[in-house]
Amino acid sequence: MRPLWLCWTLWLLSLAPPGAALSGEQILASLLQQLHLHQAPVLDRADLEGLAVPAHVRAQYVALLQHGHRERSRGKRFSQNFREVAGRLLITEAHTHLLVFGMEQRLPPNSELVQAVLRLFQEPVPKATLRRHERLPPHSAQARVTVEWLRIRDDGSNHTSLIDSRLVSIHQSGWKAFDVTEAVNFWQQLKEPRQPLLLQVSVQREHLGAGSSSAHRLVRFAWQGEAGGVSSEPQLELHTLDLKHYGAQDNCDPEIPATEGTRCCRQETYIDLQGMKWAENWVLEPPGFLAYECVGSCLQPPERLSLQWPHLGPRQCIASETTSLPLIVNMKEGGRTRPRVVSLPNMRVQRCSCASDGAPVPRRLEP
């Protein structure tokens, strides 16, 4: 069961869309969450008499300010344009296959990825072989196909990340699609020059145990050649949007008032903490801060493209990169008032972007 303060915090934070201007209630809710408090403490000026911020507390505060300018939290990633990359089989071993895709110059400049799809052609099982398995229950006539992104680190060690996994039937053949958007996002985070995109495809039995079926051995993909006069090589489809048209601009023009017709941009918004009653005698630093907000609208893709990704909602102007806000607050501990540093996440908007509701938030690439 969630504590009352956490439920209240989550409710408050859910009221504003991403990128909207911060309210005093949202800042208070985040502060209470970080300090594990039920309500703001009531302090009077007597609690401040003779109070000095120790040098180590101020140094910690300044360090967090500097760190916030370097480290940014990423929001959603998105995009759309159609490209196809032929895959090359690098290694085949038992039921695990390693595919390599040359990605350099495949993603257009000033574009962002909305979806990457790996298509594999599942070969039909000979009818004579199928007849020997026709009495299998439906769940035993399936195999688990897993796609992992393989990264070769600088020290030569390997690291895999699960990207997609699904069941396929031995009774069905043809093209199978796997969402590998996250793998391409990982690849984009690699330092230059990037290695090729490596995808490891494994075919495994779905159920283990003495009575489990060996039907997974019948699931085979075509790694080269043709099927029905069409190439059956693995295909990687890259869908991107040209951000020159579908992206956001940088900061808003301060001389022109923002309207609904304004192209998505970052607008200055000053939060005056000194003017908030709950912060009185509690928040020592800063007296206020530039939070910024994302305003304006985003160009929507043509209807024909929207139909290809029905799970994605309309593109919205959101905060795609944010930084934390360090504060120095007064805390009563053991009957004494002591200054303390606390950091509130995602308080300042660093970058605005156009994103579709429902687009996945990518994981950070681990060291």
Please report the domains of the chain, with CATH numbers, ordered by start residue: 15-76+244-356 (2.10.90.10), 88-233 (no CATH)
Name the nearest CA neighbour of 78 among 114, 116, 111: 114
Alpha carbons 58 and 191: distance in angstroms, whole number: 35
Q: Say if residue 15's pLDDT is above 50.
A: no
Segment 178-233, tens digit of pLDDT: 999 999 999 998 887 888 999 999 988 776 654 456 777 888 888 766 655 567 88
Mark residue 291 as left, alpha or beta (left: phi above 0; alpha: psi -120 to 50; beta: remaining): alpha
CA–CA dist 104, 85 (Å, integer): 11
Asked if residue 311 has pLDDT above 70, the reply is no
Distance CA 182, CA 202 (A): 18
Question: What's the confidence (pLDDT) of residue 9?
Answer: 41
**Cα separations in angstroms, 213 against 42, 72, 125, 139, 366:** 68, 49, 16, 9, 37
d(CA 129, CA 142): 15
Q: With contact defined as beta carbons under 8 Å apart, do 328 and 340 qualify?
A: yes
The pLDDT of residue 133 is 63
Mind listing the pLDDT tens digit for each residue in 248-272?
999 999 888 888 789 999 999 899 9
How far apart CA 157 and CA 367 sit, in angstroms, is 12
pTM of the model: 0.64
Q: What average pLDDT is seen over the chain? A: 79
- Burial label for 57, CB within 10 Å (0-12, 13-18, 19+), is middle
Q: What is the pLDDT of residue 53?
A: 83
pLDDT recorded at residue 13:
40
Contact between residue 312 and residue 294 where contact means Cβ atoms under 8 Å apart: no
| pLDDT value at residue 251 | 92
Q: Quote the CA–CA distance of 322 and 170 in Å, as a whole number.
A: 47
